[in-house]
Chain A
């Protein structure tokens, strides 16, 4: 009851506001019917079309958004018989026509009865900013924010007045800030006074960030020469502030890459580091984890779409069990016959990896599978001059928690105790009644299961294809070897430092060369310290 009442009140308030605006803003005063403007597009060349779009934007009529959108997508047609404009969607050999303003259906028509209205990229730009203007007044906060962003990306003086009205009406702090920034940017290309522009430059400077530099540089050409000093000072000031943030951002990227490496390598730290098994199928375990996620999401989409945001949480145990089980089978079926023959293990597990890859390829096909991001994984937020995306944020948190969990299992659980006993002194462990074969099998399964869990996380940032694992296997081995075999902390430090190193090399030498350099550095490093950063000394490791 109450909500309904509240809604009514809001609605009338909105109407009232609109009325006030239409009085206050001159462009709103002529509440023209947009239909003739749209129909005029049928005969307009690109130049005229641009003007028409400007006029459409000036109507402030939010109903025009779909039409503009369709125009930009190339879905706007005019009927040859009467030159009326419609939004058209292909329906078999016909077009399904809808009214561009009201959205009412206008029936179907043969394809050759209509002509597409031509569009080019400069028009698309104009359309984008026009739509930005139209949606700035939307009652939906998200839409307004997007609109402000759109204006920011392609500022135009035409939006200026609209922006100003929108700002005066805006109550949400973040949206308002974005609009103020967009206004300042738009103002630079307008014919406003030099003083106003000077303040705008200050405003932009205060927002800072990489974009601001780009905006100022772009705008400076068209600006009055007397403003040049202001622009340069602003750019310099942003840059000096930005430098620190850049380093921070690089560290962040590095840590984020490092956490991906950690995820990929941590299962290997167990199978290779603790058990000494060269598991070349490790990457495929990661891949199986990613496909488990895919299958879980498919099932959720089909049967319980409401649970989609939970899909990753559901996929975690599934992936762990699936890959753990595969690991168990591989250990019992192949690896256990090869203990003490590491090079043979390497070959046999490579064979396993080929079989797993081909199995997945036969079932799901060779192409990438679409794995969705739940809403809480998408988007980003700014921290000072850096941008932090949610998915990276979660992946870092996730890999660290897996690391901690594993550490606890190894140190505290009785299974961890048995595991360490077996790896340190197999004979004594078995004479104390530990069933060493099963400890081996379950340790391997644990390592594989963790690789599967890593696959769940990696499915969020990488292409899920049968080759997924291949791209991680070499990096994972590098991390484990670099960090020091048999030492989980070494793996952590190894992963993070390789990640950061990679990201710091990238800007100066490029991504590929950076990666090559890191590989070469590791190769050299292994020569110096064949047992890695945190090497265990002693006979046990030499044997």
Chain B
């Protein structure tokens, strides 16, 4: 009891005993999982382990059948919808890069900027010098200043991933959920992405889902391995990759 309340006080994100099933198939099975403020966490696991489903639950896309999901110890995320949760400060990058293809890179970032999002506020919005500076700063961070007037549709796959990360930065979230960011990237791009994520994690918590073990190693952070909807092992990358259950369930395959 005591232990739990102690962890709860410090956590940014807290999941306990979360289960969800689709047509009888248990995608998450009593999953418990905690993220500390300022932490960079990696999640691995075989396909269908429930990693994306977990993100769906945190961001309000899917409602859990049972379980607790708390943000900053007090806010019950299962009662909120996607827009609410985003405004609370949880950003999410999808597995498949999702940017606004018919907008320019600049406009994509401008839309993501953490400003009032009401109908009339957006109707009468004009770009302030401050917002402009912020966008330019993000452009620098994601290394796309030279492409700011390009339509997002014309970007390469890797660049779209980066743009999406940039949009999340513009959102200024406290917690960033990143689903398979380096899928389909070249080795050089992968390395740069690792640098970028570490950079970002200096100012906020980040949860990264990834298959690429090299990438995880490069991040060098605590790793959680999911399988069949619950946590299999948790710890440093070396600890997890030597766990016999992990080898059998994931790495061995």
A adjacent to B, CB under 8 Å: yes
Within 8 A of A (CB), among B1-39: 22-23
Q: How far is the CA of A11 from the CA of B21 in the complex (A)?
A: 83
Q: Which residues of B contact A536 (CB under 8 A)?
A: 23
Min Cβ gap B47→A in Å is: 14
Kindly report which residue of chain A lies nearest to residue B21, judged by CB atoms.
A537
Give the docked Cα–Cα distance between A306 and B23 (Å): 56
Tell me if A538 is interfacial: C-beta within 8 Å of chain B.
yes
Mark A517-543 against chain B: 1 for CB-CB distance below 8 A, else 0: 000000000000000000011100000
Collect the chain B residues with CB atoms within 8 Å of residue A537's CB: 22-23
Interface string of B99-130 (1 = CB under 8 A from A): 00000000000000000000000000000000
Which interface class (under 10, 10 to 19, 20 to 34, 35 or more) fits A? under 10
Interface residues on B, range: under 10
B24 nearest in chain A by CB position: A537
A536 to B23, CA, bound (A): 8
User: What CA separation (Å) do A538 and B25 show in the bound complex?
Assistant: 10
Interface 1/0s, chain A 12-43, versus B by CB < 8 A? 00000000000000000000000000000000
Which residues on the A side are within 8 Å of B23 (C-beta)? 536-538
Per the bound structure, the CA–CA distance linking A237 and B22 in Å amounts to 56
Chain A residues lying within 8 Å of B22, measured Cβ to Cβ, are 537-538
Nearest B-chain residue to A539, judged by Cβ? B22
* CB nearest to A538 among chain B residues: B22
- How far is it, in angstroms, between the C-alpha of A537 and the C-alpha of B23 when the chains are bound? 7
A538 proximity list for chain B (CB < 8 A): 22-23
Mark contacts of A97-108 with chain B using CB atoms, 8 A cut-off: 1 yes-contact digit, 0 otherwise: 000000000000
Considering the chains assembled together, what is the distance between the CA atoms of A536 and B22 in angstroms? 10
Say how far B91's CB is from chain A's closest CB, in angstroms. Answer: 22
Could you tell me the distance between the alpha carbons of A538 and B22 in the complex, rounded to whole angstroms?
Answer: 7
Q: How far is the CA of A537 from the CA of B22 in the complex (A)?
A: 7
Please report the C-alpha to C-alpha distance between residue A536 and residue B25 in the assembled complex, in whole angstroms: 13
The distance in angstroms between the C-alpha atoms of A326 and B136, with both chains bound, is: 58
In the complex, residue of chain B having the shortest beta-carbon distance to the beta carbon of A536: B23
The B-contacting residues of A in range 487-543, CB under 8 angstroms, are: 536-538
Closest to B52 in A: A539
Fill in one digit per residue for B179-217: 1 if any A CB lies within 8 Å of its CB, else 0.
000000000000000000000000000000000000000
Write the nearest CB–CB distance from B28 to chain A, whole angstroms: 15
Q: How distant is B72 from chain A, measured CB to nearest CB, in Å?
A: 30
Min Cβ gap B149→A in Å is: 29
* Bound Cα distance A536, B24 (Å): 12
Interface string of A51-86 (1 = CB under 8 A from B): 000000000000000000000000000000000000
Q: Kindly provide the distance from the CB of A484 to the nearest chain B CB, expressed in whole angstroms.
A: 13
Q: Which of A144-162 contact B (CB under 8 A)?
A: none
How distant is A486 from chain B, measured CB to nearest CB, in Å?
13
Name which residue of chain A comes closest to B23, CB basis.
A537
Q: Which partner residue on chain A sits nearest B25 by CB separation?
A: A538
Smallest CB separation, B81 vs chain A (Å): 15
Looking at the assembled complex, report how far the CB atom of B23 sits from the nearest CB atom of chain A, in whole angstroms.
Answer: 5
Complex A-B, nearest 5 residue pairs according to Cβ-Cβ distance, in ascending order? A537-B23, A538-B22, A537-B22, A538-B23, A536-B23
A-B contact pairs, 5 of them (CB 8 A): A536-B23, A537-B22, A537-B23, A538-B22, A538-B23
